[in-house]
Amino acid sequence: MRRSSRTAYTLLSFAAVVATVGCIFRGVRVAPVGRAENTEVLSPVKVHLLNGETAVFEDGLHIARDTVRGAGLLYGISQRDRAGGISVSAVPLDSVAAMESFSGYTNAPATVAVSTLVVGGSIVAGAALFKALFGSCPTIYSDSAGTPVLEAEGFSYSISPLLERRDIHRLRAEPDSHGVLTLDVRNEALETHYINQLELLSVTRAAEEYVLPDASEHALAVREVRPISRAVDRAGNDVMATLARDDGLVFHSDARTIAQVNAGDLDDWIDLDVPVSRGTDSVALLFNLRNSLLNTVLLYDEMLSAQGAHAVDFEAKDLNNIADMVRIGRWYGGHMGMHVSVRRGVQWDTVASVPDAGPIAWREVAAVVPVPPGDTLHVRLSFVADQWRIGKIGAAMRFRHPQPETFEPAAVVEANGTPADSARTSVATLDARYLETTPGQRFTLRFTTGASPRDSVRTFLLATEGYYTEWVRGSWIRQAEAAGEQSFAASDSTLAQTVRHWRDVAPTFEAQFARTRIATGALP
Amino acid sequence: MKPSLLIALCATMLGCHFGQRIEDFDVAHQPGGATAEVRQASGTIISGELLAVSDSNIIMLWSGAVTGVPYARTRSMSFEILHIRLEHGERPSPDQLERLRLVSRFPQGVTPELRPRLLATYHQNAIMSVNQ
């Protein structure tokens, strides 16, 4: 072979190998930052002042009223390098000439396949996939005497690389006698999962403490848990009996509240009373909850299926475009989740937000709230009507934020028992490496935690970070073609329409949802 | 080693990740703008910090001086961080102009308020032209 043709062969072969094993394409997006109040950016932002100075906020910023706030460094007009900046925490908005944000992205549509692992598993083929209705994110199971126990679902609503987020989940699983904690991770949905990190957190606690994540996805150790003394929903129902105990009774929004939803009034709420000792400055509200399938209906029926074939573009472009995602994210964040307010006199102050939890696994989560003077804390939980299923609410009078010990996976094992070292590397640390799984795939995680301490107790939590992309069903395209494709508008009208639609389809949808989970086979 | 094995090894070692990472995107972490490299009609290459952009020229900091460079008077102009290269006096497209603006030192442009402060900082009375 001549040298030139050999070179060409080599280059072509390289391209072929790269295309075959799969590649992640990534980049940096630079976008102007608006001046709207409550704008929050979590990636680096440069703020250019009218006088020529520049402030760099490496960890992002928040715009509160007329001020830009964050941890930044201020540089003079002639400074170019990052050394020599002066700390700055607030910049008046009227002194700002321009702001731009910088954020990394992974180009999911251009990503052929992640090279780290092809996880073994039972791929459900062909038509069966398109009948599936199940939509969520990685489901995490432990093994209890041969029976899989659902522990958690990861990054439930991270439907784009730009929405990649970390969440943590309390585990019931314990290490075995050798100090090894084993979890099974499954893709049971019609989605492609991109898993960035799976990390085990261990919190050493006192016997009387209980450990769970808080609404900011940090571990919280609580004690002195008291029941609430009153719970009334917006329709006037006394829901104390439902919420006071973990007895299988679950809160749903009243049908009258759902029926009255319109674009100007989307919410249901629950008013709680919590007895507190005088002088208490804050308490931790404890929830056991999950989302209803309303969010899933919003994703399936409004965001994706109504767009028909354009849903492919929507996932590939709009959900990867910073400006569009900021718009959609602000709208979504403003309505979805659970907003926690406390009453001060006649006014309700929003003090915390509990993020969406996903519709499959029950999640224990806490929200720390301030306590105004008095012996009763009045709390209002607001949310889009029928968005939540709530099993129990309590209140802890004492709490602390412990520093957990962290463990990378010691091993990742494919469904056929083969060790998958590249997969382990992909999920061990938070970096640009992702483990991709497709419907029906699963793998086993093993963490080596060592022996339990003799003088204390440990609680384990699992941190998950990543995102997923929903598969666009053939039936969606056919239905949208028949009905006329409609683009998705992130608006209150859309949400009101979704709630009305949800009211009509909920019973059928919930039954189908449970029936059509994609099988992944038994635990190994 | 067979070429195919070498290729497979390279692909594996590369990890098959392409493109920039935000950690390596210097402009995001420092006050300075992106670097502009200009090849003048004479063939001389000048390189410096991109201060501002407009429809007709860029303003860059070259050799310690605030310098205006009209697109029309260059053989080429490149901005490696954005993979933008303009040839033979070519003007940037509106999309390129916006992207360049966002990685310049002063995205707001050299405004009447900023101009005297900027020139005083570099001990100039006026923006220098590359032809001077």
One-character DSSP codes across A426-453: HHHSSSS--EEE-TTBEEEEEEE--PPP
What pLDDT, on a 0 to 100 scale, did the predictor assign at position A254?
93
Min Cα separation A47/chain B (Å): 9
Query: Which residue in A207, A202, A210 sits closest to A400, CA to CA?
Result: A210
Mutate to test the interface with B, among A17, A86, A105, A430 (most CBs of B within 10 A): A17
Residue A95 tokens, joined: 């002194």
What pLDDT, on a 0 to 100 scale, did the predictor assign at position A123?
31
C-alpha A214: how far from its chain's center? 13
Nearest to A54 among B8, B28, B31 (CB): B31
Q: Are A193 and A400 in contact (CB under 8 A)?
A: no
Mutate to test the interface with A, among B9, B13, B27, B30 (most CBs of A within 10 A): B30
Query: Which residue in A69, A66, A64, A121 sits closest to A95, CA to CA?
Result: A66
Mark B90-122 as b/e (b = at least 16 C-beta within 10 Å): eebeeebbebbbbbbbbbbbbeeebeeebbeee
Secondary structure class of B94 (helix, strand, coil):
helix
- B8 CB neighbours in chain A (<8 A) are 17, 21
Highest mean pLDDT among A319-328, B47-56, B79-88: B47-56
Q: Are A230 and A271 in contact (CB under 8 A)?
A: yes
Please measure the distance between the N-terminal and C-terminal CA atoms of chain A and give it in whole angstroms: 50
Q: Are A310 and A487 in contact (CB under 8 A)?
A: yes
Mutate to test the interface with B, among A9, A13, A23, A28 (most CBs of B within 10 A): A28
Strand partners, A342: A349, A379
Is the ipTM higher than 0.85? The answer is yes
CA gap A401, A203 in Å, rounded: 10
Contact flag B107-A100 (C-beta cutoff 8 Å): yes
Contact flag A46-B28 (C-beta cutoff 8 Å): yes
Average pLDDT over every residue of B57-61: 95
Contact flag B121-A25 (C-beta cutoff 8 Å): no
Closest chain B residue to A51, measured at CA: B114
Closest chain A residue to B34, measured at CA: A80
- Name residue, tokens 């704008």: A39
Residue A169 tokens, joined: 């989940």
- A46 CB neighbours in chain B (<8 A) are 27-28, 31
Contact flag B22-A104 (C-beta cutoff 8 Å): yes
Min Cα separation A74/chain B (Å): 8
C-alpha dist (Å) from residue A405 to A66, A168, A321, A505: 40, 14, 36, 45
Contact flag A52-B4 (C-beta cutoff 8 Å): no
Mutate to test the interface with A, among B1, B2, B7, B111 (most CBs of A within 10 A): B7
CA gap A368, A284 in Å, rounded: 4
Contact flag A80-B122 (C-beta cutoff 8 Å): no
Contact flag A56-B12 (C-beta cutoff 8 Å): no
Mutate to test the interface with A, among B16, B21, B80 (most CBs of A within 10 A): B16
Contact flag A56-B21 (C-beta cutoff 8 Å): no
CA gap A88, B54 in Å, rounded: 30
CA gap B101, B95 in Å, rounded: 10
Contact flag A44-B29 (C-beta cutoff 8 Å): yes
Contact flag B8-A52 (C-beta cutoff 8 Å): no
What pLDDT, on a 0 to 100 scale, did the predictor assign at position A303?
66
Mutate to test the interface with B, among A14, A29, A33 (most CBs of B within 10 A): A14
Cross-sheet strand order for the sheet of A180-186? A147-153, A139-144, A180-186, A442-448, A411-414
What pLDDT, on a 0 to 100 scale, did the predictor assign at position A521?
36
- Residue B65: Cβ-neighbour burial (10 angstroms; 0-12, 13-18, 19+): middle
What pLDDT, on a 0 to 100 scale, did the predictor assign at position A119?
34
- A6 CB neighbours in chain B (<8 A) are 3
Residue A372 tokens, joined: 């105004």
pLDDT > 70 in chain B, percent: 84
Pair type for strands A165-170 and A54-57? unpaired
CA gap A166, A123 in Å, rounded: 27
- B28 CB neighbours in chain A (<8 A) are 28, 30, 44, 46, 102
- A13 CB neighbours in chain B (<8 A) are 3-4, 7
Nearest to B16 among A9, A21, A27 (CB): A21
Q: Are A310 and A327 in contact (CB under 8 A)?
A: no
Q: Length of chain B in residues, anyone? A: 132
- Side-chain-side CA neighbours of A420 within 13 Å: the count stands at 24
Contact flag B20-A28 (C-beta cutoff 8 Å): yes
The model carries a pTM of: 0.59
- Name residue, tokens 């900082």: B121
What pLDDT, on a 0 to 100 scale, did the predictor assign at position A412?
93
What pLDDT, on a 0 to 100 scale, did the predictor assign at position A108?
43
pLDDT in single tens digits along all 524 residues of chain A = 334 444 444 444 444 444 333 444 567 888 888 787 767 777 889 999 999 999 999 988 888 888 999 999 999 999 888 888 999 999 999 999 999 988 776 544 333 333 333 333 333 332 233 233 334 688 999 987 778 888 998 887 676 676 778 899 999 999 988 999 999 999 887 778 889 999 999 999 998 999 999 999 999 999 999 999 999 999 999 999 999 877 778 899 999 999 999 988 999 999 999 999 988 999 999 999 998 888 777 766 666 665 555 555 555 556 556 556 666 666 777 778 899 999 998 899 999 999 888 888 889 999 999 999 999 999 999 999 999 999 999 999 999 999 999 999 999 998 888 888 888 998 998 887 888 888 788 899 999 998 877 777 999 999 999 888 777 655 655 665 666 666 666 678 888 888 888 888 887 777 666 555 544 432 22
Q: How confident is the model at residue B49 (pLDDT cuts 50, 70, 90)?
A: very high
- Side-chain-side CA neighbours of B7 within 13 Å: the count stands at 18
Nearest to A44 among B8, B19, B28 (CB): B28
What is the overall mean pLDDT for chain B? Answer: 84
Strand partners, A272: A231, A379
Nearest to A18 among B16, B99, B117 (CB): B16
Q: Are A401 and A219 in contact (CB under 8 A)?
A: yes
DSSP A162: G
Contact flag A433-B17 (C-beta cutoff 8 Å): yes
Query: Which residue in A81, A174, A121 sits closest to A444, CA to CA?
Result: A121
Contacts of B52 (CB under 8 A, 6+ apart): B58, B59, B101, B104, B105, B106, B107, B109, B110
DSSP string, A282-343: EEEEEEEEEE-THHHHIIIIIIIGGGTTHHHHHHHTGGG-HHHHHHHHHHHHHHSSEEEEEE
Strand partners, A182: A446
What pLDDT, on a 0 to 100 scale, did the predictor assign at position A324?
61
CA gap A307, A347 in Å, rounded: 42
Q: Are B53 and B77 in contact (CB under 8 A)?
A: no
CA gap A180, A186 in Å, rounded: 19
pLDDT tens string B86-98: 999 999 998 899 9
Cβ-based neighbour number of residue A271 at 10 Å: 18
CA gap A341, A267 in Å, rounded: 14
Cβ-based neighbour number of residue A87 at 10 Å: 8
Contact flag B114-A82 (C-beta cutoff 8 Å): no
Nearest to A77 among B20, B25, B118 (CB): B118
Q: In the A/B pair of chains, how many CB contacts fall below 8 A?
A: 124
Contact flag B28-A54 (C-beta cutoff 8 Å): no
